[in-house]
Structure 1
Amino acid sequence: MIRLRLYTTLGCHLCEQLKALLAILVTEAYHLEEVEISEDDALVERYGVRIPVLADAAGEALDRGFEAPRLAAWLAARGWLDEAAWQQLQRELAGEPSRPARGAVIRGGRRYLG
């Protein structure tokens, strides 16, 4: 099982975005330990403007993991990236529909219902 640590704080919407991306992109089961930085002055000083920060068991950290390409590259470097899920997410981020609606016609990147 993959062990990950997320340095976060209450109400961090970017942290929520990173967790959602992890659920999509990681190939195998993982345990995510969330570390609340606001309870420790040293952690606030170290991570306060960098959160969310994701770290692996070796302590190698990723800043701005809420950016899908950065997270995908970090996961791929460790052999943890689900390539098919990443390709699908890239298509969705590019605005390509996963499946056009029945009778839909796509012109100029827009979908028109027939």
Structure 2
Amino acid sequence: MTHLTLYTTLGCHLCEQLEALLTLLHDGDYRLERVEISEDEALLARYGVRIPVLVDAAGEELDRGFEPTRLAAWLAARGQLDEAAWARLREETGATPPGTARGAVMRDGRRYLG
């Protein structure tokens, strides 16, 4: 089972969007721990303008995971992407696979212009 942490705050619609995508795209079981950042000054300073931030068990962070291509690339790098679900989502939304958008290259869940 995969253990993930989501830094979030009450009423964060982008956090809800990331959770919905994670449910769809994650291959296998996972446990998601939600951490409310508004109750801790240090967390608020670190994540306040970045939420939602998804973190794996190794401490690797993903900003903007509500963007399907970013979340798919991050999960794929960990061997946790449901490829069939990702293919269906791309067909439905017209999303491009990680690394193919407008000459960009995806590495470690980040897009670099080519």
Aligned residue for 2:66, secondary structure, equals coil
Which residues of structure 2 form unaligned runs of 5+? 96-114
In structure 2, the residue matched to 1:11 is 11
Percent identity, please.
72
| Aligned equivalents of 2:70, 2:94: Cα separation in 1 | 16
| Aligned equivalents of 1:73, 1:94: Cα separation in 2 | 16
Q: How does 1:1-80 map to 2 (within 5 A)?
A: 1-80=1-80
Q: How many residues align?
A: 95
TM-score normalised by the chain length of structure 2: 0.82
Which residues of structure 1 form unaligned runs of 5+? 96-114
| Aligned equivalents of 1:12, 1:21: Cα separation in 2 | 15
| Aligned equivalents of 1:85, 1:33: Cα separation in 2 | 23
TM-score normalised by the chain length of structure 1: 0.82
Q: Which structure's CA Rg is the greater one?
A: 1
In structure 2, the residue matched to 1:93 is 93
Aligned residue for 2:71, secondary structure, equals helix
| Aligned equivalents of 2:60, 2:50: Cα separation in 1 | 14
Aligned residue for 1:31, secondary structure, equals strand
| Aligned equivalents of 1:94, 1:63: Cα separation in 2 | 22
1:52 maps to amino acid:
P
| Aligned equivalents of 2:67, 2:13: Cα separation in 1 | 13
Cα RMSD over matched residues? 1.0
